[in-house]
Amino acid sequence: MSTPGSAERTPAGVSVEQGGGVTPWTCPPIPTNPPLIRRILTAFIANEVRKVGVERVVVGLSGGVDSATSCLLAAEALGPQNVLAIKMPYRTSSPESLAHADLVIARAGIPSLEVDITPQIDAYFARFPDADRVRRGNKMARERMTILYDHSARWHALVLGTSNKTELLLGYGTLHGDMASALNPLGDLYKTQVWALAEHIGVPAEIVRKQPSADLWAGQTDEAELGFGYRDVDRLLYCMVDLRYSRAELLAAGFPESFVRRVSEMVRNSQFKRRLPIIAKVSQRTIDRDFRYARDWGV
């Protein structure tokens, strides 16, 4: 499958050395089995939603491959009538993103809603005009999440997440923004695995193939902001996290030292984003340490 950014980047599985030579990465490729993953994730969505006593979910639909994949999986798991897609554009959002979101809505046959976040975002930053793009992007992500949670209450539904494993490990997301959800079917799939799954379940090809973007400002792309391609970092993260390669083993596998160092720092520095707020232990049964709710054990 053709993936974004591959034409101008080092091919997946190849490391460029400082001396100009090329060394193949010796770690195994990331396994992918879209039919099996599809069955697991649709069952996960159905079980986790109904376990709470509801039947429906709301999804923030950006027009990107992650939210499109979550929408189609949810429609299959719960029925199209039980999935509400909410489009939340800002004035600088790409018209293409909205058009792609509409393709997903039509493909899945799900109800939808559009809420323009421009008025509230611009009103807030009128007071803080010196805010940089990161602050503005985080504010937009959190505004969108408040809208999703408000409509989840109105619709008696859960908020379905769309963050993939690559984003979560790198901390490439907004805490209590796009990273917030009641359940997340994509959280254990690397971006390259999401691409394969999306193609398998029928996400429109133009969505699967386009450059990934959070659409936070005009021309923004994930790979330009991160400084590396998803295929490259997925391979490194798979060896680092799933296969538990040591730093020495990663270097021996051909990954550049600067790449290993930067990604390792991103994973380490973003750990707080992957945890609930840390609770000081003062009792015998502390939430999320010693106490586990019976429902989580299927009781």
- Shared-domain flag, residues 40 and 100: yes
Amino acid at residue number 253: A
pLDDT value, residue 8: 31
Q: Is residue 16 part of a domain?
A: no
Strands 112-114 and 83-87, how do they pair?
A: parallel
Number of domains in the chain: 2
Torsion of CA 248, 17, 195, 52, to 10 degrees: 30
Amino acid at residue number 142: R
Whether the predicted pLDDT of 32 surpasses 70: yes
- Shared-domain flag, residues 186 and 69: yes
- Shared-domain flag, residues 100 and 238: no
pLDDT band at residue 287, thresholds of 50, 70 and 90?
confident
Whether the predicted pLDDT of 19 surpasses 50: no
Whether the predicted pLDDT of 11 surpasses 50: no
Note the pTM of the prediction, 2 decimals: 0.87
Residue 270 CA to residue 175 CA, distance in Å, equals 10
Host domain of residue 107? 34-209
Query: Is 290 exposed, middle or buried, given 0-12, 13-18 or 19+ CB atoms closer than 10 A?
Result: exposed
Tell which residue, 175, 174, 198, 170, has the closest CA to residue 186. 198
- Shared-domain flag, residues 128 and 232: no
Q: Which two tokens stand for residue 146?
A: 């408040």
Q: Is residue 257 part of a domain?
A: yes
What whole-number percentage of the chain has pLDDT above 90? 76
- Shared-domain flag, residues 196 and 233: no
Residue 166 CA to residue 187 CA, distance in Å, equals 8
Q: Which residue has the higher pLDDT, 164 or 284?
A: 164
Q: Is residue 26 part of a domain?
A: no
- Shared-domain flag, residues 170 and 60: yes
Whether the predicted pLDDT of 293 surpasses 80: no
Q: Is residue 6 part of a domain?
A: no
- Shared-domain flag, residues 125 and 199: yes
Task: Tell me what the mean pLDDT of segment 220-241 comes to.
Answer: 90
pLDDT band at residue 223, thresholds of 50, 70 and 90?
confident
Q: 3-class SS at 2?
A: coil
Q: Is residue 214 part of a domain?
A: no
86 CB contacts (<8 Å, ≥6 apart)? 58, 59, 60, 61, 112, 113, 114, 115, 147, 148, 151
Task: Tell me what the mean pLDDT of segment 93-109 comes to.
Answer: 97
Question: What does the pLDDT look like over 125-151, one tens digit per residue?
Answer: 999 999 999 999 999 999 999 999 999
Whether the predicted pLDDT of 296 surpasses 80: no
Task: Tell me what the mean pLDDT of segment 116-131 comes to.
Answer: 98
Q: Is residue 9 part of a domain?
A: no
- Shared-domain flag, residues 139 and 263: no
- Shared-domain flag, residues 240 and 186: no
CATH number for the domain that contains residue 169: 3.40.50.620
270 CB contacts (<8 Å, ≥6 apart)? 169, 170, 171
Whether the predicted pLDDT of 81 surpasses 50: yes
- Shared-domain flag, residues 45 and 80: yes
Q: Is residue 114 part of a domain?
A: yes
- Shared-domain flag, residues 193 and 93: yes
**Locus of tokens 């069952």:** 43
Q: Is residue 296 part of a domain?
A: no
- Shared-domain flag, residues 124 and 247: no
Task: Tell me what the mean pLDDT of segment 231-254 comes to.
Answer: 95
